[in-house]
């Protein structure tokens, strides 16, 4: 798991040098080992935060791996905005990035709107939690299904 305060410590990704900080090495190692991922981003000016995008740019260090980038990984996507428009756009952007990294965005995308209503209350909290749980459940389901599929291919 890579929370925001760890991602914040990553230097801007530099493709011209193999030198990496300890946090960057750990991130790349975890991406290399992962069998599924959940990505979550705040909506910043209508799209993903630069912090998350910079972290994902480190996937370039997997370009020459036997498993190129995040090939074949199921990836759940969660976007949070103070409104629907930026949240939905951020979700679409996350899915495009996942696709570019050769991974599989899972079917249910979660958008959480933290804008308060006219009374100042944030509504829809239980729906948001259900939506997050569904993202997680679909990633787990996909990991198991992909594993079973690969095993049957190896066995045949």
37-44 and 47-48 beta bridge pairing: antiparallel
Closer residue to ligand FMN in complex, CB, 28/132: 132
User: Is 54 exposed, middle or buried (CB count within 10 Å of its CB: 0-12, 13-18, 19+)?
Assistant: middle
Nearer to ligand FMN, 67 or 82 (CB): 82
Residue 137: CA count within 13 A, CB half-sphere: 8
Residue 150: CB minimum distance to ligand FMN, A: 36
Nearest to 10 by CA among 57, 55, 59, 42: 55
Min CB(45)–ligand FMN separation in Å: 5
CB of residue 38 to ligand FMN, shortest distance in Å: 16
Question: Among residues 45 and 126, whose Cβ is nearest to ligand FMN?
Answer: 45
Residues contributing to the site for ligand FMN (CB under 6 A) = 42-46, 80-83, 86, 114
């Amino acid at each position: 798991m890579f929370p925001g305060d760890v991602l914040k410590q990553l230097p801007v990704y530099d493709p011209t040098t193999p030198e990496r900080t300890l946090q960057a090495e750990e991130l790349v190692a975890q991406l290399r080992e992962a069998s599924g991922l959940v990505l979550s981003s705040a909506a910043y000016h209508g799209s993903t935060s630069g912090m998350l995008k910079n972290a994902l740019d480190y996937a370039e260090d997997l370009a020459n791996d036997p498993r190129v980038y995040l090939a074949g990984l199921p990836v759940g996507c969660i976007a949070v905005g103070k409104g629907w428009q930026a949240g939905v756009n951020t979700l679409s952007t996350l899915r495009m990035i996942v696709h570019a990294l050769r991974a599989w965005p899972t079917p249910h995308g979660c958008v959480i709107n933290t804008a308060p209503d006219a009374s100042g209350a944030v509504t829809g909290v239980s729906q948001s939690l259900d939506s997050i749980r569904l993202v997680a459940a679909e990633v787990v389901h996909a990991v198991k299904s992909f594993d079973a599929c690969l095993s049957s291919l190896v066995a045949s």
